[in-house]
Amino acid sequence: QSVLAQPPSASGIPGQKVTISCSGSSSNIGTNYVYWYQQVPGTAPKVVIYRNDERPSGVPDRFFGSKSGTSASLVISGLRSEDEADYYCAAWDDTLNGHWVFGGGTKLTVL
């Protein structure tokens, strides 16, 4: 059971907008930044959103992150086939001397 809760799957057709949610608590998302990682099967994860809503250089502006209270969302607009991947949220948790926590991951299928 992951500390951060994500839906196990999401899907959309090319061009559509998809939202992936991430739910935490006051000790993690409620007080710290949220990060989103994209993992194509067989490869290492790659950050697509950092500090709640910032995009690293090279990540298309179709990727949008937001946070409200103890929840966060990743929105991918103009869905493309290459967006098909697993997406994980992560945050620092202030309890137990501090530790990183990940969501269980959401498998995004582009239909």
Cα-based angle 50, 53, 57 (whole degrees, multiple of 5): 60
Of 14 and 56, nearer to other proteins (C-beta) is: 56
DSSP for 8-45, please give it. Answer: SEEEE-TT--EEEEEE--TTTTTTS-EEEEEE-TTS--
Shortest Å, Cβ 47 to other proteins:
4
- Minimum distance, C-beta of residue 10 to other proteins, in the bound complex (Å): 15
Closest C-alpha among 10, 57, 47, 2 to residue 29: 2
Q: What letter represents residue 103's amino acid?
A: G
* Choice between 52 and 77, CB closer to other proteins: 52
* Shortest Å distance, C-beta 2 to other proteins: 6
Closer to other proteins by CB, 55 or 62: give it. Answer: 55
Distance of CA 65 to the CA centre of its chain: 8
Nearer to other proteins, 83 or 93 (CB): 93
Summarize as ranges the residues that interact with other proteins (CB under 8 A): 2, 35, 37, 39, 44-47, 50-51, 54, 56, 86, 88, 90, 96-105
